[in-house]
Amino acid sequence: MANFLISRLLYTVLVLFGVSVAVFFLIRIGGDPSALFLPPEASLEEIERFRALMGFDRPLVVQYFDFLGRAVQGDFGMSLRYNQPAMQLVLDRMPATLQLGGAALLLSLIISLPLAIIAAAKRDSIFDRASLLISIIGQSFPAFWLAIMLILLFSENLRLLPPSGRGTWAHLVMPAIVLATYSTAIITRLLRSSMIEALSSDYVRTARGKGVRESTIILSHALRNAAIPTLTVIGLQVGALLGGAVITEEVFAYPGVGRLAIQAIANRDFTVVQAFVLLMAALIVMINLLVDLSYGFLDPRLRKRK
């Protein structure tokens, strides 16, 4: 177990290193960024001075290792716009995003768990077909448009919910619904098919033969086994979910990290974009690591193999 953990952690570090390379060079794919920061009437001399000041005159590889060396020590550079440490800016916005993400996750579990379980238990019933249709519809909504439609309905027409900002729980309702739509669709569909597979397995047949109650079979035997593939894919989808959060926060002017990232892109504030991507990557990798480790708790057979 300890060996497994160490090799996984090393691999995680390697992946984060790869992410930092990808982000650093992709953001600079457009060439020297100094033209973006200076007014068009800047003289050649001023441009040179600025490049030397920012270190843009050095080879990209040198710039990268300089960046990496500082990043390892926790220094992700200063935001070019706010003149504050970039990572601090991102971290300050994290609680808002975590709150939104938590609310969305809770909402999608409340809907998708019962939906998937009943659909699998009553396979090919009207209910099952409805759940499939719901999951297809759920993943077909463009998040930004769904957000605008909710604003149109609940803020413009019914005047029930505030269209933007953060503060009360009412501010959280619409962004959480938008964010939960896609994950509800994905979780419902995956859990349904994993449940169907689990319910047709030998151990379920044995349990039925022994006369175990159907509700116990579904909720404890099948659900536990269906959880593994479902969790794996949810872990892999975290990145996509965060992408959805970016758009959702932007439309609702919700002050989380996603909105910060979009503003940073609009302002060409690349240190903030870098800090954001790296922090999110670390988060995603950590979540996937936890998912991997949770297999052992869900399935005792895997515990021994390690």
Interface residue list for another protein (CB under 8 A) = 11, 14-16, 18-19, 22-23, 26-30, 33, 132-133, 136-137, 139-145, 148-149, 151-152, 156, 186, 189-190, 193-194, 229, 233, 236-237, 239-240, 242-244, 246-247, 250, 258, 261-262, 265-266, 268, 270, 273, 276-277, 280-281, 284-285, 288
- As measured in angstroms, the least distance from the Cβ of 209 to another protein is 27
- Cβ closer to another protein: 85 or 258? 258
Tell me how far, at minimum, the Cβ of 276 lies from another protein, in Å: 7
* Amino acid, single-letter form, for residue 103: A
Complex with another protein: residue 208 or 255, whichever CB lies closer: 255
- Residues 180 and 174 sit within 8 Å (Cβ to Cβ): no
**Shorter beta-carbon distance to another protein: residue 99 or 164:** 164
Task: Tell me whether residue 18 or residue 69 sits nearer to another protein (CB atom).
Answer: 18
Q: How far is the CB of 57 from another protein (least distance, A)?
A: 19
Specify the residue, 80 or 207, whose C-beta has the smaller distance to another protein.
80
- 207 vs 284 by CB, closer to another protein: 284
Give the nearest distance from C-beta 83 to another protein in angstroms.
Answer: 21
Q: Please say which residue, 115 or 207, places its beta carbon nearer to another protein.
A: 115
Concatenating the DSSP letter of every residue in the chain gives: -HHHHHHHHHHHHHHHHHHHHHHHHHHTTTS-THHHHS-TT--HHHHHHHHHHHTTTS-HHHHHHHHHHHHHTT---B-TTT-SBHHHHHHHHHHHHHHHHHHHHHHHHHHHHHHHHHHHHTTTSHHHHHHHHHHHHHTTS-HHHHHHHHIIIIIIIS--S-SS--SSHHHHHHHHHHHHHHHHHHHHHHHHHHHHHHHTSHHHHHHHHHT--HHHIIIIIIHHHHHHHHHHHHHHHHHHHHHHHHHHHHHTT--SHHHHHHHHHHTT-HHHHHHHHHHHHHHHHHHHHHHHHHHHHH-HHHHHH-
CB of 213 to another protein, least distance (A): 28
Find the shortest distance in angstroms from Cβ 212 to another protein. 27
Report, in Å, the least distance between residue 117 CB and another protein. Answer: 17
